[in-house]
Amino acid sequence: MQSIKMVDLGLQYQKIKPEVDAGIQEVIDNTAFIKGPAVKNFQANLEKYLGVKHVIPCANGTDALQIALMGLGLQPGDEVITPSFTYVATAEVVALLHLKPVLVDVYPDSFMIDVDQLESVITPKTKAIVPVHLFGQCANMEAIMAIAKKHNLFVVEDTAQAIGAEFTFSDGSKAMAGTIGDIGCTSFFPSKNLGCYGDGGAMYTNDSALAAKLQMIANHGQSIQYQHDEIGVNSRLDTIQAAILDVKLKHLDEYSAARRKAADYYDDEFSKHSKITTPYRIPNSTHVFHQYTLKLDPSIDREALRNRLKEKGIPSMVYYPIPLHHQKAFLPFQKPGVAFPITETLVSCVISLPMHTELTEEQLSYITNNFLEIVDSM
Ligand SMILES: *Cc1c(COP(=O)(O)O)cnc(C)c1O
């Protein structure tokens, strides 16, 4: 049996090596390192895949979130709502721009921002909501868009973990994650569902004026060469990364299906166990399983379990062990008396198992058998 990794990018590469190598070689042969044709091609192909008018590539997912907030013209002190259970980047860029991150707790089953608590934190200073499509499915975008409309707020979707997931509205219409709010922001970090071989990211929008502004900010606030209309940043997707992504985009649906198949296998093995809660699947979103994240019964010592898994050659991770509101950098933003009880329980009971496109039945069976045996012995 091949050794088990959290994410196995080597095996995935072997299957697309000729195409990827040719794409990289072409960029080098043409010395088209910056703004080469592969960037435009990938941009157009991703627009088509997502059914969105504009994709604006940039250097990474964190930049995408930062540029998105800059593009909306928010002013220092404006409040931006994010979930309390997410990767730091979501709230970090808010604070970096001197905006105020306002956290909202998440649902205990789906881990998504609790829409019923959203309105209670809205103030006259609130300008935007940044929902996170965590672990591979969509937050409740229908309810979020309705609240945003009612209070005249922008919506910036953090879709770094959910590229390819699709949301179904109650009228039956469908839209891809990231194409519903004003701007969607994604990451092409190697381990993401559509990952390159370095850093990369993109913003999506259906608003052409906003797209032009985001493009300009990502390029030193420059509209025409050497004419700078606003303070911007330097955030580009390398041509080599775009060439790789253009190859991998063709396989994205197949990759999502492979992840779902692995998740189905895990679910079948774990769902009947009283001490394990398998990932909740939101009815109006497809799940692309960026992570396969279980909840453990409080009686299980998670660190001991992880150590015993490690002894068996089974890696595991905890996404995320420390919630934003306990991070030193975010302490200045905490309001006294505000608690996030669901996030608090999740950080102590979640565990993520190996999830990637190359997991074999042999590996899945080895993982699940050992996992169950260890849990039963605890
Ligand atoms: C990965 C990730 C990001 C940041 O992406 P980078 O490309 O690493 O900057 C932002 N938000 C979430 C939820 C992520 O998982």
Distance CA 95, CA 277 (A): 34
Give percent above pLDDT 90 in the chain: 97
Q: Taking residues 278-284, what's their average pLDDT?
A: 97
Structure tokens at 116: 């019923």
Residue 334 pLDDT > 90, yes or no?
A: no
Do the Cβ atoms of 38 and 27 come closer than 8 Å? yes
**CB count, 10 Å around CB of 189?**
17
- Is the beta carbon of 132 within 6 A of some atom in ligand 1? yes
* Ligand 1 atom with least separation from CA of 65: 10
Minimal-distance CA residue to ligand 1 atom 10: 89
Q: How many angstroms separate the alpha carbon of residue 192 from the centre of ligand 1?
A: 9
Structure tokens at 211: 């797209």
Structure tokens at 281: 């699947």
Do the Cβ atoms of 246 and 23 come closer than 8 Å? yes
* Ligand 1 atom with least separation from CA of 90: 11
Q: Taking residues 329-353, what's their average pLDDT?
A: 93
Residue 187 pLDDT > 90, yes or no?
A: yes
The pLDDT assigned to 46 comes to 98
The pLDDT assigned to 336 comes to 83
- Is the beta carbon of 60 within 6 A of some atom in ligand 1? yes
Residue 295 pLDDT > 90, yes or no?
A: yes
Helix (H) or strand (E) run with residue 56 in it: strand 54-58
Closest CA to 360 of 262, 248, 287: 262
Q: Taking residues 182-204, what's their average pLDDT?
A: 98
Between helix 239-249 and helix 37-50 the angle, nearest 10°, is 40
Q: How many angstroms separate the alpha carbon of residue 338 from the centre of ligand 1?
A: 26
List the domain boundaries for the chain: 9-106+113-249, 252-376
The pLDDT assigned to 94 comes to 97
Characterize the bridge pairing of strands 174-176 and 166-168: antiparallel
Phi-psi region of 313 (alpha: psi -120 to 50; beta: other; left: phi over 0): left
Residue 344 pLDDT > 90, yes or no?
A: yes
The pLDDT assigned to 217 comes to 97
The pLDDT assigned to 335 comes to 84
Phi first, then psi, for residue 225 (nearest 5°) are -55, 130
pTM: 0.97
Do the Cβ atoms of 283 and 76 come closer than 8 Å? no
Distance CA 61, CA 65 (A): 6
CATH of domain 9-106+113-249: 3.40.640.10
Q: How many angstroms separate the alpha carbon of residue 274 from the centre of ligand 1?
A: 33
The pLDDT assigned to 343 comes to 97
Whether the ω angle into residue 320 lies within 30 degrees of 0, i.e. cis, is: yes
Q: How many angstroms separate the alpha carbon of residue 89 from the centre of ligand 1?
A: 6
3-state secondary structure of 278: coil
Closest CA to 4 of 346, 286, 373, 262: 262
Average pLDDT in the chain: 97
| 206-264 pLDDT per residue, tens | 999 999 999 999 999 998 889 999 999 999 999 999 999 999 999 999 999 999 999 99
Reported CATH class of domain 252-376: alpha beta
